[in-house]
Amino acid sequence: MAYENIRLEHDGAVATLTIDRPKALNALNNKTLQEIEAAVRSLGSDTRVLIVTGGGEKAFVAGADIAEMASLSESQAQEFAALGHRAFALLESLTIPTIAAVNGFALGGGCELALACDFIYASEKAQLGLPEVGLGVIPGFGGTQRLTRAVGRARAKELVFTGARIDAAKAKEIGLVLEVLPAEGLLAHCRSVAAKILKNGPLAIGKAKRVIEQGADKDLTEANTLERQGFAELFGSEDQREGMKAFLEKRPAVFTGK
């Protein structure tokens, strides 16, 4: 499929989704959100890690497209928010690991896009925040909820109420970003993490992701039940037999995702 505002590139089992509207600082308009949704839906079983980043040198995604939003009616705003929620929920629901490579401004919708990924690595040049209240609105693509789950209620309220931008170092300090990298090394680092993930069993990784996500909002007893069930469900898979056989034979495992 040909895209206008994004690029989807494959390098073996690693796919890279690049938001590519550099003249608009990769702002998210209707077309771009539709293309993100389509690209995520297009990923096949041969893709085992997805990296999300921004085109150009200044921005990951500087926010939603204010020029497009400014004249929306309430019903149109509802539809726009629903599109963003749908695209980001789809990204979040992938069974494969997703990595946000935040290479510049990740504000508003850009921060929300990064939050929909499993984890975030940021360039030293990155700035993150949810400044929507300065426009008289609130985050509309899941930011209030995912940010709260990432950094806690009080810190999320502080960031949303003040509309503050924070640098990558501060984002790491509060647990929003895992690591801060030199700009020139950001994608290489993300790819090195992807390479480590690819050495492991894809069924196990998918199950671990599901158990972590589903267990996060449950009490410990329920969450541990999910883990126990997930652990047992992997036995009898070809990957489990291969992984344990390879360990006993002191060789690298060759996983097939079966």
Kindly list the catalytic residues: 112, 132
CA dist., res. 17 & res. 50, Å (int) = 7
Q: Which helix (H) or strand (E) holds 212?
A: helix 202-215
CA dist., res. 30 & res. 69, Å (int) = 10
Q: What is the DSSP letter of 250?
A: T
Contact predicate 87/37, CB 8 Å? yes
Strands 59-61 and 14-19: unpaired
Contact predicate 107/127, CB 8 Å? yes
Tell me the DSSP string of 176-188. Answer: S-SEEE-GGGHHH
CA dist., res. 231 & res. 217, Å (int) = 19
What residues are paired with 167 via a beta bridge?
Answer: 127
Q: Which two tokens stand for residue 182?
A: 């030199």
Q: Which two tokens stand for residue 33?
A: 């959100």
Tell me the DSSP string of 118-144. Answer: SEEEEETT-EEE--GGGGTS---SSHH
CA–chain centroid gap for 190, Å, is: 12
Residue 175 buriedness (CB in 10 A; 0-12 / 13-18 / 19+): exposed
